[in-house]
Amino acid sequence: QILKFSTTGEENVFANLPNALFTGLAFDTNGCLYGTSYFAGTVEKFSPTGTYLGRFATNGLSFPNALALDGSGNLYVVNGGTHSVWKFSPAGAGSAFASAELTSPTGLALDQQGNVYVADTGTGSVEKYSGAGNYLGRIISGLSGNLFLAMQIPAPVARWGFQSVARSGDSVSMTWGAISGRVYQIQYKTNLQQPDWQNLGDTIPATNATMAYSEAPGSDPQRFYRVALLP
């Protein structure tokens, strides 16, 4: 099952697909939801209302987990079984996209320039690839201690995500691509195993295409951030 929660915490079943263990979810620009089914080695597609639309991708996938869509509708999937990233066209045609330096990839994100970032738990690093799949180098290594992770929900297109997260002294500053007129809330956790995200400050009405926020994490050894787009 895929569960949907309202902003007040009300729980509803959004989609139900028997025997599917979903390990990654992503929305496209039309509001359709894609989910990786780990043991089936597939990507399943659902309408914005949760109606099952069929199997989007199967070719080449083995224990898929994280996934992300770019602005053109291409789907990138972390393929755990082959320690690689696969790319699928909007029509579902797929092929190996990147594998250099990957040993146990588990996370995936795209930037506004189309570069692909892959978190690898095997090496404790984040690897960077061009939109063509060329390896551009290791941008983060030795992940431990004061680790700050940025993510966004919901994610209709990658360009609305965080643009930067940086720490200077006791302050953490972040910027994100926003939709003017929509309202956002910065949230955080100190441990990803915690069930709830905590709000940081007040809600933020977007007045520009890029918004910014700063805060002092205090004595917390680590914080994980996300920006939520409110209804």
Same structural domain, 80 and 194: no
Same structural domain, 159 and 85: no
DSSP for 144-209 reads -SS-EEEEEES-SSGGGSEEEEEEETTEEEEEEE--TT-EEEEEEES-TTSS-PEE-SS-EE--SS
pLDDT reported for residue 160: 53
* Total domain count, the chain: 2
pTM over 0.75: no
Same structural domain, 209 and 95: no
pLDDT reported for residue 218: 82
β-sheet bridge partners, residue 145: none
User: What is the extent of the structural domain holding 161?
Assistant: 148-229
- Cα separation, 14 vs 173, in Å, equals 34
- Cα separation, 42 vs 36, in Å, equals 6
* Cβ atoms 101, 88 nearer than 8 A: no
- Cα separation, 45 vs 50, in Å, equals 9
Condensed to tens digits (0 to 9), the pLDDT of residues 98-115 reads 988 888 888 888 887 888
Task: Give the CATH number for residue 171.
Answer: 2.60.40
Same structural domain, 161 and 96: no
Same structural domain, 197 and 221: yes
Same structural domain, 107 and 157: no
Same structural domain, 171 and 220: yes
Which regions in the chain score pLDDT beneath 70? 141-161
Same structural domain, 100 and 209: no
pLDDT reported for residue 229: 84
Same structural domain, 126 and 32: yes
